[in-house]
Structure 1
């Protein structure tokens, strides 16, 4: 069903025009029109219409659409339906394709089908298409409480991505306990654009009288007035009362959503119709709010033409409408009233018969699943099997719905059923595929508490282990891989994870531990061994090489593991994209930072948009290693935004550490304190050292020795220099010892060798070798530090001219890189030596916003996009991937406070001389 949107014509242009004047909603309409005036002035807005069923949300929405059209808005609207969850973008899709001049053309719309598995990229593509709109647009969605998950995601992301596009996003929704899609959209948009929430309450008495007069053509008499009070100000029930479909004060078997009086009125109306019409309506109520006439005919065992008279009767009775392709109940409450009046056994029989028809016709298990769910009871293995198949049918495009189906299948299966444990394992797997990792872990723990066969117990644990490895939780990896399965293939994988846990948790510089894991690799990776286990052991060896600072070997092993993982699958298989991320980090640590940054944009390596936040974080960490602090800060901001959009906080500790380090380097210690994490001691030690704590430098060395530090040479140099100037030789010697070992293990990595030479020069005074070596590395902060330390030494020995030259160069380089604290430190040294420069006052800060805030690459992207390039053509020009261009463009928009390519072009035009 991927890519099909069967209700594109379900809402026609005539539907927006009410047959009667909207009564009693002038205040609510005024609030919405005020939001539309905001949009007319060029700023988007979100409007949420909320209220109980029948309170008039649809009528108000139709009036809003009509009024917007009169104001010159392009209008597009659709309604969500209860069965939308089985088809991606089925709720929003009809609105995007609405009318003779749709917001999105056919070709572009069909291209979106290829992005259903990647919601973030789909939202970005939609944003690009919608920002091309000219003039104000109103995009409305009725019954948003039923919108499909992909629509919900797109609507949470798009309003704040399109802050310069004048779109009124109007959602009508029933209240949902805990907050439904409409409330989530409003919450996501609220920080960036105006949100208007309109709660629809009961109509006033005067409004009810006006509605009655409209319907009756005259003022109602006293008896009607008394009965109208029973509608309690609900406009739908008021109209139904006037039309004889609502009897206030009626008692008896109402369902939770259907007022008893409506049930009684519909019952009475049905009694006045023919037996074939009643039978037709009862079947129709089971099929859903909208249905195809041939389906109803097939369930009734009749030809569609035989239903002509019953259909006409139902339309005349005010229960159905027919648009030529589908038949629809006039209101969901009417369908619910007919449905509630059916005996449960009749309801179930029709649901099951329709499910069988859908399966027989080949319309898919997902289409049949809601009808199976309506009738299934615990122990119904046939229903559980349909739901299992439905879960896998929609897994690639509607993972959230897939989770619902598989969990329902599990709930239907008794604990003594042989399939119970297998369906439980499938539930864990599908929760993981839907990126619901916390829930997958919780569910797995419940499952594992039951007496499972050893092999299935191991398979469930193996489903969790790849994510635990990716989240860097060696303790959890070790605990969950400890118990064997008794199956050679599974035991090899569990052994691989134990090796991974050991390699992650072991201390660096432990040759015995390294040899142990390497020996295990040699023992396991044989031609006929399990390929998943082979990847695990290779990855474990890569971690050992990483932790023992054998950087070239680490990169080679991560690369080998990633290549091998592309041909593996099954429980416990590592994701190639996660291995590629480790590969790029390892490559950067060999001083190939720019090559690694380019690799992060390789769409052949990174095919999952859910990894976008992690990749943005890695870009920030690599830019930090290169000393490009503005670029690192921009990437960190992008990672923060993406984590919020994707509701994925897995890498938040690493992000907080990066933000804290950047704040320290800018000299903003208060800001750094807000990001400190007890589990990551390096940033805390850097703050302590920067604030003059005499223990800070030693704590930096301790944090590096504990392992897990990406750029240890950077911080060891910082600790040694700080300790040297404070007269703490023990810390200098400790740093020098670790750096000597690093340099011995990485003799061809200039940044590592140069860092070692620099700290050694604090004692030997041979700074020139360090300066020369670091100039050949991409490690700009280390190179500037070498100039600084040489300048300090030369100044202290009276060699003033070269000292001032070197210190000047260091200060300017620090300032250019954004290391304000370091620039200020050097400036103070120069000032203390009597050197004065007018340009020192004040130390230049690179702004957070404006053209000057852009990094070099961001400027290049901005210039190309402003010149009319698409993301793809800009990517070809710069030899990057479109997703990398998108990342840079997001940063450009944020820093320039623009929200469209047109606005960006105007900014570039104003800055033409600088460009």
Structure 2
């Protein structure tokens, strides 16, 4: 750390013994326990964070850790994953090859997918050796690396992976986000590095000058304020001044500016160009910007390295410390800095760099009206949109600011800005931006383009009525390009899918599809098929919906979850499973949260309540991570229903409260009906049948398609509530809609069976209920089969046919119990007890809270696989679930077993009897 050479190899560690001990203890803990940990080293510039981090990394390496280490850069923080890439590509044994990382970047189109692949690579390495990943200058980490750092430590907490991060306290957002995400999930240590003590400064002086500290030197060093970098620079200057018998100037000038002043003009110019380019920069780039011949620049480089200002790592030149770069940078007049940044951007693009590499300079140097800068920002935003949509939206917002309002280019830039903001989930901002542009009275073609761009925004905001109004207005005024007209027509059909007259909606969708096909516009084609799929689903036409969503996913794999759910509505769980496997193995898989939604529907339909609950937990977490809540209301409604089936009333009430909270954010008709239905179920469980029936009636009033869509699998529950209240007309209405749904879907056993069950309940006809049970024998849904058998058993008991009743009730009880619906099984058991049947009872007792017995069947399977050494990915493949769901199960396993590492899990499982 010496300014110009000398025996300072350990000077940066003087006075840091306590901090080092704390970090060493965490290193030892991770190695000993086999579980994860995170350390954040914080302090002001030059306070010794980098030296402390480097020493801790060295200690971990000596302790047998596989080490990856990188450093974020202030002017390279736009490039997605650039900060974390340095950690996984460098080190004793890189976690990923450069080609593998490029392959990830080429194939992925969502942040969650990429983070999971990184997690798999790190987890695989940690299976044989503890891993340390260190990142310096966290405050400058790029957004995608920050996103990954918020997810990975918790995702890998059960593996021996230690994260060591260093950064400044300001800006604090990056560090706060990472630490907040890790806190409570794995051991987390924050090491605040403060000024050195006077004794440590004295020892630094002896290290450098080889002599005791006199009062004159001590007074001079007081200006360093305990900052080791400044102190070492001052001491280096003192040593140089003593050797040349020069007077000693005060303060920082001793360490930095005196050296800058002594440089040749060409060297200073070369350093200034380097400072503009960043702490790391290319020799050719700096030479080109300084306008000097290569030979002159080479001499400048040699002088800068000799002065202790730059290091040369063979690929890049690096300022030895960012404070050195800042000392050079601040001496450039502000107006010149702006011009140089703009010139740097132009040069980097001309030299073949990616637009995103030039963006930091554009942001610092572009002035309004700079159309080249606007073009670069647009290209960069387009490049990074799939992985960092928030940053892409920021770049486009800046691009829009640079375009004067009088220029036609403003509307094209505005359209792209709206699309980026919408993709980033910033819908209100997108709508506000669009309305400001529309207020500028754009030409008709631009008016139509802007309204089409706002279509996705309005749909995301559940403003279907406003979407229809705007689409119809834009179509009526005319002037749209053919492809824009087709998109507007498709958006209109999509909006109509939320209205009552689905005949009109279907006609509009078919017209839009024909137009999209004739024009050949992919976006219009996707929108038209999406609208027709929604319309068919809302009309209860399962086969038609499947046809539309299959065609849609063939064009855009992002809609694979919709196709999966459509297969499930047809009772085709084999196709659903095949497509779920395809989604899990697809390198370009999109919309991970929606895929988890489809997985949850699959597992719920097959009666795998434990897996379904874990799927929906994971889905909500993924939606929170990308800040795009879509299915959170429905997810909580289903989880509450699952909890009631299991007999966990407390959890069920918690999910109901959460569903209400999320409904306030997204109060569309479907969500409103879902929460009303859940409130009815809870009212019945609480014994308030009047309230339950009233809630069901409200659901019926929320729209003709929402009624059956919500109740198609649970209509029997709603009918029972109505009958218990004596609301026969309501029960008959529910049975009639179940019958209509069966008529539309005669090839779906669940639909026809539930229709017969509904009619049998209303008519109290054991024969019809028996027919329902027969129809449902070919249904893949065990909970539906169990409910029908329970209804048949109760009807047979009422008819005095005890022997037949016991058989039906026993089948219902056992089927409920096998699915984990222990509360439902318990209710059927009470009917059996009432019938005087004392035969075998199903296991309906509630699981303990802690220990192996507290684990669900799915959790036990996951625990055994992980204990055998399987990674999350391998366990997921074996169990045909998502790796995200495996992680959710594993989190629950560790909590219930009070352990925190895979090693502990393996040791515990070894003591268990084979099963």
* Length-normalised TM-score, structure 2: 0.86
- Specify which of 548, 551, 554 is matched with residue 545 of structure 2: 554
C-alpha distance in 2 between matches for 1:434 and 1:770: 48
Q: Match for 1:25 among 11, 16, 20?
A: 16
Which of residues 354, 365, 369 is equivalent to 2:359?
369
Cα separation, 2, equivalents of 1:502 and 1:886: 37
Q: Which moved more, 1:614-623 or 1:56-65?
A: 614-623
Aligned pairs for 1:466-477 (under 5 A) are: 466=456, 468-469=458-459, 473-477=463-467
Secondary structure of the corresponding residue to residue 689 of structure 2: coil
**What runs of 5+ residues in structure 2 fail to find an aligned partner?**
240-249, 664-671
Change (3 A) 1:424 1:819: same
1:184 Cα offset (Å): 1.8
Q: Provide the rounded CA distance (Å) in 1 between the counterparts of 2:228 and 2:563.
A: 63
Q: Give CA-to-partner distance per residue, 1:656-686, whole Å, 9 cap, x none.
A: 2222222232233332232232533221111
1:394 touches 1:402 (CA, 8 Å); kept in 2? Answer: yes
Alpha carbons 1:294, 1:303 under 8 Å: kept: no
What pairs with 1:164-243 in structure 2 (closer than 5 Å)? 164-177=158-171, 179-243=172-236
Residues 360 and 796 (structure 1 numbering): CA distance in 2 closer, same or farther, change over 3 Å? closer
Which residue is equivalent to 1:788?
790
Deviations 1:806-851, CA, capped at 9 Å, x for gaps: 2122112112112223212212222233333564575465989859
Deviation at 1:362, TM superposition (A): 1.7
Equivalent position to 2:372, from 364, 382, 385: 382
Mapped to 2, the partners of 1:182 and 1:609 lie a distance apart of: 30
Deviation at 1:166, TM superposition (A): 1.5
Partner of 1:151: 145
**1:274, distance to aligned residue in structure 2 (A):** 2.7
What is the alpha-carbon distance in structure 2 between the residues aligned to residue 538 and residue 824 of structure 1?
45
* Conservation of the 8 A alpha-carbon contact between 2:863 and 2:905: no
Q: 1:546, CA displacement in angstroms?
A: 2.3
Equivalent residues of 1:29, 1:60 under 8 A apart: yes
Q: Distance in 1 between matches of 2:167 and 2:637?
A: 41
1:740 paired with 2:720, answer: no
CA contact (8 A) 1:202 1:233 kept: yes
Is 1:413 aligned with 2:414?
no
1:638 to 2:618 alignment: yes
8 Å contact kept, 1:686–1:700: no
Mapped partners of 2:734, 2:308: distance in 1: 85
Shift of 1:895: 4.8
- Spell out, residue by residue over 1:409-445, the C-alpha distance to the aligned partner (whole angstroms, 9 max, x if none): 2222222233222212222223344555554345434
Structure-to-structure mapping, 1:499-518, within 5 angstroms: 499-506=493-500, 513-518=501-506
- Cα distance, 1:336 vs. partner? 1.1
Matches of residues 623-772 of structure 1 in structure 2 within 5 Å? Answer: 623-676=603-656, 677=660, 679=672, 680-695=675-690, 696-700=692-696, 702-703=698-699, 706=702, 707-708=705-706, 710=709, 712-725=711-724, 727-762=726-761, 763=763, 764-766=765-767, 767-772=769-774
- 1:519 matched residue in structure 2: 507
Range 138-147 or range 360-369, more displaced: 360-369
C-alpha change, 1:865 and 1:415, in structure 2 (3 Å) is farther
- Measure, in 1, the Cα distance between the counterparts of 2:324 and 2:424: 36
CA distance in 1, matches of 2:869, 2:309: 56
Structure 2 distance, partners of 1:610, 1:903, is 35
Q: CA deviation at 1:460?
A: 2.7
Deviations 1:196-221 (A, max 9, x none): 11122222233233323322222322
Are 1:470 and 1:578, in contact at CA under 8 Å, matched by a contact in 2? no
Q: How big is the shift at 1:195?
A: 0.9
2:600 is aligned to 620
Give the superposition deviation at 1:717: 0.7
Q: 1:521 to 1:429 in 2, by over 3 A?
A: closer
CA contact (8 A) 1:593 1:778 kept: yes
Q: Structure 1's 425 and 759: CA in aligned 2 closer, same or farther, altered over 3 A?
A: closer
CA distance, structure 2, for counterparts of residue 86 and residue 273 of structure 1: 33
CA deviations on 1:847-874 (whole Å, 9 max, x unpaired) are 8985995667994997699586995898
Q: Which position in structure 2 is the counterpart of 1:797?
A: 799
Residues 1:338 and 2:308 are matched in the alignment: no
Which residue of the other structure, out of 267, 271, 277, is the alignment partner of 1:277? 267
Residues 858 and 889 of structure 1 are in contact (CA less than 8 Å); yes or no, is this contact kept in structure 2? no
Cα-to-partner distance string for 1:350-375 (whole Å, 9 max, x where unaligned): 43443333232222332233233332
Does the Cα contact within 8 Å between 2:757 and 2:788 map onto a contact in 1?
A: yes
2:53 alignment counterpart: 61
Q: Give the whole-Å Cα distance in 2 for the aligned partners of 1:724 and 1:560.
A: 42
1:287–1:117 CA distance, 2 compared to 1 (3 A)? same
Q: Which whole-Å CA distance do the structure 2 matches of 1:124 and 1:792 have between them?
A: 49
Rate the CA distance shift 1:728–1:826 in 2: closer, same or farther, 3 A. Answer: farther
1:50 aligns with 2:74: no
Contact 1:631/1:855 (8 A) holds in 2: no
Rate the CA distance shift 1:899–1:539 in 2: closer, same or farther, 3 A.
Answer: same
State the alpha-carbon separation in 1 of the partners of residues 472 and 848 from structure 2.
51
CA distance in 2, matches of 1:605, 1:140: 30
Provide the rounded CA distance (Å) in 2 between the counterparts of 1:112 and 1:68. Answer: 28
Please name the residue that 2:246 is paired with. Answer: none
**SS in structure 1 at match of 2:205:** helix
Tell me whether 419-428 or 398-407 shows the greater mean CA deviation: 398-407
Q: Structure 2 matches for 1:289-438, cutoff 5 A?
A: 289-396=279-386, 399-434=389-424, 436-437=426-427
**Structure 1 residues 324 and 856: CA distance shift in structure 2, 3 A:** closer
Are 1:913 and 2:906 matched, yes or no? no
Choose which of 16, 24, 27 in structure 2 pairs with 1:36: 27
Larger mean Cα displacement after TM superposition, 319-328 or 36-45: 319-328
Cα distance in 1 for residues equivalent to 2:291 and 2:559: 57
SS of the aligned residue for 1:101 comes to: coil
Aligned residues: 865
CA spacing shift, 1:149–1:306, aligned 2, 3 Å:
same
1:448-467 equivalence runs, <5 A? 448-466=438-456
Contact persistence 1:861–1:885 (CA under 8 A):
no
Structure with the bigger percentage of helix: 2
Change over 3 Å in CA distance of 1:290–1:477 after alignment to 2 = same
Q: Distance in 1 between matches of 2:152 and 2:353?
A: 32
CA contact (8 A) 2:716 2:754 kept: yes
Q: 1:860 to 1:99 in 2, by over 3 A?
A: closer
| Deviation sequence 1:688-722 (CA, Å, 0-9, x none) | 12222123145335425634364523322112234
Is the Cα contact below 8 Å between 2:182 and 2:188 reproduced in 1? Answer: yes
Q: How does 1:856-895 map to 2 (within 5 A)?
A: 859=861, 866=868, 871=873, 875=877, 884-887=881-884, 889-895=886-892
Could you say what secondary structure the match of 1:141 adopts?
A: strand
Report if the CA contact (8 A) 1:384-1:413 is conserved: yes
The match for 2:116 is: 124
Deviation for aligned residue 1:58 = 0.9
* TM superposition shift of 1:46: 0.4
Aligned residue number for residue 829 of structure 1: 831
Q: Using structure 1 for the length normalisation, give the TM-score.
A: 0.86
User: Which range moves more in the overlay, 532-541 or 815-824?
Assistant: 532-541
- Range with bigger deviation, 405-414 or 54-63: 405-414
Instruction: Find the aligned partners of 1:613 and 1:273 in 2 and give their Cα distance.
Output: 58
CA deviation after TM superposition for structure 1 residue 773, in Å: 0.7
Please say if residues 514 and 541 of structure 1, whose CA atoms lie closer than 8 Å, have aligned partners that are also in contact: no
Distance 1:24 1:112 in 2: 43
Cα RMSD of the aligned pairs, angstroms, is 3.6
Residue 778 of structure 2 is matched in structure 1 by 776
Mapped to 1, the partners of 2:361 and 2:405 lie a distance apart of 24
Counterpart CA distance in 2 for 1:702 and 1:348 is: 63
